[in-house]
Amino acid sequence: MFASALPRRAGAGFKPEHFADILAEPQPVGFFEFHAENYMGAGGPPHAQLGRLREDYALSVHGVGLSIGSMQPLDRDHLARLRVLCDRYQPESFSEHLAWSTHDSVFLNDLLPLPYTEATLARVVEHVDQVQTVLGRQMLLENPATYLLFAESTIEETVFLAEIVQRTGCGLLLDVNNVFVAATNHNLDPHDYIARFPLAAVREIHLSGHSESVDDVGAPLLIDSHDTPVKDPVWALYQTVLDRIGPVASLIEWDNDVPAWPVLRAEAISAQKLLDAATRRRAA
């Protein structure tokens, strides 16, 4: 099985509007990540762009529609499409979410939460096994940004993820912004969450922005909106993770109100500086 192998550098989420700027000069990023579902047409400019990026950069395929947290079986057609995409681009990594997005035959286009129980754990493990078998590669599973809890949950999220890693051999994509968002939304200490997280399995980190709201009794409710620069407490949490595990592939995600390429690149450079410092500390 092909192990996830992104360079331990900063990367950027690829947006087609940045293509010309990216090609204009060598960019200070180690990899680009793209959303799998946007590249499931047969041809055209999207594939022409990816093929060109592939020549110069490592690639990460990030799925947003497989619905691994569904209680119903995975969509075999969709899995086959992911296989075609991975075969075509031979990306250094494939990742998906601990969430569900399809129910019956309806695709809900959001990363919906699931309760953490023995039953849901067994189902997610089954699905991760199936994905890794079909793709012939290790996948990375991403921790979710959640707004709700479930009365029936009996397992902590960090334990749930550790069990999946243990049973499937998958790696983890640690979304530090999601940690901050979910911890705030559930009144937990994000540093405590990181301390409990199975960090040894982390092969990639996500960094992004969020927006701020409140729930109906006035408590902070953060939204994983991917429409701003990375916020200071998320950078601080990222630094904590790097202190614990050293440099790891780190992606800036910016999916809404997408800025000009230099702005996104500057975020990636900020992450790279922290990665460089972490590398120096390791060497010291």
Contact residues for other proteins, defined by CB under 8 A:
37-38, 40-48, 64-67, 70-72, 75, 78, 81, 100-110, 112-115, 117, 119-120, 147-152, 185-188, 213, 215-217, 219, 221, 223
CB of 272 to other proteins, least distance (A): 30
CB of 3 to other proteins, least distance (A): 26
Residue number with CB closer to other proteins (27 or 102): 102
Count of CB atoms situated within 10 Å of the CB of 47:
15
Please, what's the b/e burial string for 262-278 (b: 16 or more CB within 10 A of its CB; e: otherwise)? eebbebbebbbebbeeb
E strands present in 65-119 = 93-97, 100-103, 106-112
Is residue 275 within 8 Å of 250, Cβ to Cβ? yes
What 3-state class would DSSP assign to 172?
strand
Residue number with CB closer to other proteins (70 or 132): 70
- Tell me the two tokens of residue 166: 């243990």
Residue number with CB closer to other proteins (149 or 260): 149
Is residue 201 within 8 Å of 171, Cβ to Cβ? yes
CB of 280 to other proteins, least distance (A): 40
Q: What's the chain's Rg over C-alpha atoms?
A: 18
CA distances from 219 to 43, 94, 205, 213 (A): 47, 36, 28, 8
CB of 258 to other proteins, least distance (A): 12
Residue number with CB closer to other proteins (188 or 199): 188
CB of 51 to other proteins, least distance (A): 10
The residue behind tokens 């690829």 is 14
Residue number with CB closer to other proteins (215 or 276): 215
CB of 201 to other proteins, least distance (A): 24
| Eight-class DSSP state of 216 | T
CB of 267 to other proteins, least distance (A): 22
CA distance 229 to 85: 30
Residue number with CB closer to other proteins (38 or 276): 38
What 3-state class would DSSP assign to 60?
strand
What 3-state class would DSSP assign to 251?
strand
Tell me the sheet residues that pair with 211: 223
Residue number with CB closer to other proteins (5 or 84): 84
